Structure 1
Amino acid sequence: MDRIVDIATDGQHLSLHRGFLLVEKDRAEVGRVPLDDIHAVIVHAHGVTWTGNIVAALADRGAPVVFCNSSHAPVAVTLPLQGHHAQNARMQAQIAASTPLMKQLWRRIVSAKIAMQGSLLAARGVAGAEAFPFMARRVTSGDKENLEAQAARRYWPLLMGQDFRRNRDAGDVNALLNYGYAVMRATCARAVVAAGLHPTLGIQHSNRGNAFALADDLIEPFRPLVDAVADQMRQEGIAALDPTQKRRFARLISFDLHLAGETSPVSIAATRLAQSLAEAFETGRPDLILFEPPTAIEWSSIGRAEREGA
C-alpha cells in the first residue's frame, strides 16, 4: 500500500538498509518503511541528513522527495531522470505542443476544478454553490475570462468564511492547506514523471523557477479534496499540524474517485490523468481522463473517515 512518509522531527538521518528506508536520530533507529510501500517522502524538519543511496533507491521506484519550508509549502523536489520507456518521444511532443492544444487542455482542467469546488460547496449546503456548475460550463479555450480566479473569489469566503484569505505564508488553516497540497503535488509530480513527461514544462503555470509547473497544472482538480479536509479540521478547531492531522491528509491518496466508469483511488486518478495528457500531446487531441466530483455522501466521508481513523 502506498504510504506518505513525513519527516517532521529535527536532526533525523535517512538511509537505505536492506530494502527499507531507515530513519535514525542520534544513531538510534526511529523507524523503517519498506521502499516498495513508499508513495512519497515529505521533509519539513531542520538538520535532516540522508545518504545518496536512499535518494537513488527512492528515485528508482518513482517516489519523489519533497522539501518544504516552515509554512509547509514545498520548495524543492527530487524526481527520477527516467520515468517511461517512451520518455524522449513524449517530452518532444510536450515541447512541440501547439498553443491551441494547450489552451483546450487548460479549459478542461479549469472546468473540472470549478465543478469540484461547486460540488464541495453543494455538499456542505452552502448558498451560492449553484453558480459553480454554470461557471464550469462557461470556461472557454485558455480560460480567457479568467473564470478560475472569479470562482476562487467566490469559493474561499463561501467555504472558509468571509474573513479567510488564501496566503501560502500564513499559518492556521493556510498551513493546513499548504501541507495537504504538498501531498497532492507530490502525487501529481510522481504521475507526471511516470507518464514520461517533464514536470517543469507546464500547460498554464510557467514561472521560470517552478520545477513543479506541470504538476501544479494537474493538481488543480484535486485541490478541493484537500480543501474539504482542511475545512473539516477548521470546524473542529484544529489550527496546527501534528502527526494525526498529517495522516488525515496522507490518506487522501487512497480516497476513491469515479473516472471512466471505474472507481479508483486518487493516486491512480492522477496517474490516469497524466497518461491521458501524454497521449494528448502525442495525438494533438485535448482528451483528458478527468474524474467526476464526489457525491454529497462521499464528500462527507472525507472528514468523517479521517476523524474516526485518527
Structure 2
Amino acid sequence: MERVVDIETDNLFLAVHRGFLTVTSGDEERGRIPLEDIGALIVHAHGTTWSTSVFTRLSDRGIPVVICGTNHAPSAMVWPLEGHHLQGARMRAQLAGSRPLAKQLWAKVIKAKIRMQGHILDRNGQEAGAFELLARKVRSGDPDNIEAQAARRYWKALFGAGFSRDRDAAGINSLLNYGYTVLRAIVSRAICAAGLHPTVGIFHANRANAFALADDLMEPYRPLVDQLVLDLVHAGQSEVDSATKQALTAIATLDLPGPSGLSPLSVQVQRFVHSLAVSFETRVAALEFPKPPIPANAVVDAGDA
C-alpha cells in the first residue's frame, strides 16, 4: 500500500540507497522506506537537506514531492516530466479541449462535491436535503456559483456558526490545510500517471498556479478530509502534530465503493483522473466519481460490493 511520507523533524538529510528513501540525522539513520511503498513525500521541517537522487528516483516513479509553508499548505511541488506512455497524445487532447467541454466537466465536478458535502452533513446528523437540490441546480460552468452557495451553508453546519474557512488561521483551518495538502499530492500523482498536465485546469486558471488541474480534481474529495478533521476535533485534537498528521495521511487508504467494489481512495483517484483523460480524448464529459464511504458499522450486501 502506498504511503504518504511526511518529514516534520528539523535538520534531517534525505537520500536514496538501494531502493530505499533513507532519513538521517548527523551520523544516525532515523528510518528508511522502500521507494515502491511511497505515494507522495511531504516536507514541513526546517533545515531539511537532500541528495539530487531523491528527486530523480522519486520522479522516475511518478512520486510528487510537496514542500509546505508554516500554514501547512503547499508552497512548492516537484512534478515528474514523464508519466503515462500516451502522455504526448493525451496532453495534446487536453490542450485542444473546448471551452464547452471544460464547462461540462466542471459542472459535473461541482455536482459531485456538493453531493459529497451533503453526505458528510447527513452522516453527522445535520440537515442535508438542500444539498441535493443545490447539486441539481448546477449548470454548465456553474455560472450561478452554486458551489459558493453550498459552501456558505456547509461550513457553518459542519463546524459551527462561528467557523469561517481561512487558510492562514490555526486550529481547524490548519488541519484542513494539511489534509488538503495530502489530497493534492495524491491527485497530482494520478494526473502524472494518466499523462495529463497539472497546470492546464478545467476551471482554475491562475497563471501562478502550476497545479490548477489538481486543485480542480480534488474538489469532490475535499469533504472526506473535512470528515477526518471533524473526527479529530471531536476527539479533542485541533492542532497539526504527529498524531493528527498520521490520521490525515491515512486518507489515501480510505476505502470507497465503486463499480469494481471497494478500493482505496488513492486507487479511486487514479480511475477518476483516467476518466478525465478519456473525456479529453473522446470529447465527451464522462467522469467516474467517488461514492461516499460506507460507515464502519454498516452491513454491505454482496450485490453492492
TM-score (norm 2): 0.95
Q: Is the counterpart of residue 158 in structure 1 residue 157 in structure 2?
A: yes
Q: d(CA) in 2 for partners of 1:228 and 1:70?
A: 23
Aligned residues of 1:103 and 1:141 also touching (Cα < 8 A): yes
Question: What is the aligned partner in structure 2 of residue 28 from structure 1?
Answer: 28
Q: d(CA) in 2 for partners of 1:137 and 1:263?
A: 27
AA paired with 1:115?
A: R
Alignment of 1:269-280 (within 5 A): 269-280=268-279
1:26 CA displacement: 1.7
Q: d(CA) in 1 for partners of 2:35 and 2:100?
A: 41
Distance of aligned partners of 1:298 and 1:109 in 2 relative to their CA distance in 1, 3 Å threshold = farther
CA offsets, 1:12-41, max 9 Å, x none?
A: 110011110000112311110000000100
Aligned residues of 2:221 and 2:290 also touching (Cα < 8 A): no
Question: What is the aligned partner in structure 2 of residue 120 from structure 1?
Answer: 120
AA paired with 2:124?
A: R
Question: What is the aligned partner in structure 1 of residue 86 from structure 2?
Answer: 86
Question: What is the aligned partner in structure 2 of residue 131 from structure 1?
Answer: 130
Question: What is the aligned partner in structure 1 of residue 220 from structure 2?
Answer: 221
Question: What is the aligned partner in structure 2 of residue 51 from structure 1?
Answer: 51
Q: d(CA) in 2 for partners of 1:299 and 1:82?
A: 42
Question: What is the aligned partner in structure 1 of residue 11 from structure 2?
Answer: 11
Q: d(CA) in 2 for partners of 1:171 and 1:248?
A: 18
Give 3-state SS (helix, strand or coil) of 1:4's partner. strand
Q: Is the counterpart of residue 203 in structure 1 residue 202 in structure 2?
A: yes
Q: d(CA) in 1 for partners of 2:62 and 2:177?
A: 23
Question: What is the aligned partner in structure 2 of residue 65 from structure 1?
Answer: 65
1:54 CA displacement: 1.3
Aligned residues of 1:123 and 1:299 also touching (Cα < 8 A): no
Question: What is the aligned partner in structure 2 of residue 306 from structure 1?
Answer: none
Aligned residues of 1:60 and 1:80 also touching (Cα < 8 A): yes
AA paired with 1:84?
A: H
Aligned residues of 1:120 and 1:299 also touching (Cα < 8 A): no
Q: Is the counterpart of residue 290 in structure 1 residue 289 in structure 2?
A: yes
Question: What is the aligned partner in structure 2 of residue 2 from structure 1?
Answer: 2
Give 3-state SS (helix, strand or coil) of 1:29's partner. strand
AA paired with 1:101?
A: L
Q: d(CA) in 2 for partners of 1:35 and 1:261?
A: 27
Aligned residues of 1:180 and 1:249 also touching (Cα < 8 A): yes
1:291 CA displacement: 1.8
Give 3-state SS (helix, strand or coil) of 2:39's partner. strand
Aligned residues of 1:257 and 1:264 also touching (Cα < 8 A): yes
AA paired with 1:98?
A: S
1:299 CA displacement: 9.7
AA paired with 2:162?
A: D
Structure 2, unpaired ranges of 5+: 299-305
Structure 1, unpaired ranges of 5+: 301-310
1:298 CA displacement: 4.7
Question: What is the aligned partner in structure 1 of residue 267 from structure 2?
Answer: 268
1:281 CA displacement: 0.5
Aligned residues of 2:114 and 2:147 also touching (Cα < 8 A): yes
Q: d(CA) in 2 for partners of 1:207 and 1:282?
A: 24
Q: d(CA) in 2 for partners of 1:206 and 1:213?
A: 6
AA paired with 2:267?
A: I
CA offsets, 1:234-264, max 9 Å, x none?
A: 1222121222211111111111112225221
Q: d(CA) in 2 for partners of 1:298 and 1:152?
A: 27
Q: Is the counterpart of residue 149 in structure 1 residue 181 in structure 2?
A: no
Q: d(CA) in 2 for partners of 1:293 and 1:236?
A: 22
Question: What is the aligned partner in structure 1 of residue 301 from structure 2?
Answer: none
Q: d(CA) in 1 for partners of 2:246 and 2:175?
A: 12
Question: Percent identity over the alignment?
Answer: 51
Q: d(CA) in 2 for partners of 1:85 and 1:230?
A: 37
Q: d(CA) in 2 for partners of 1:177 and 1:271?
A: 22
**Bigger mean CA offset, 229-238 vs 282-291:** 229-238
Give 3-state SS (helix, strand or coil) of 1:269's partner. helix
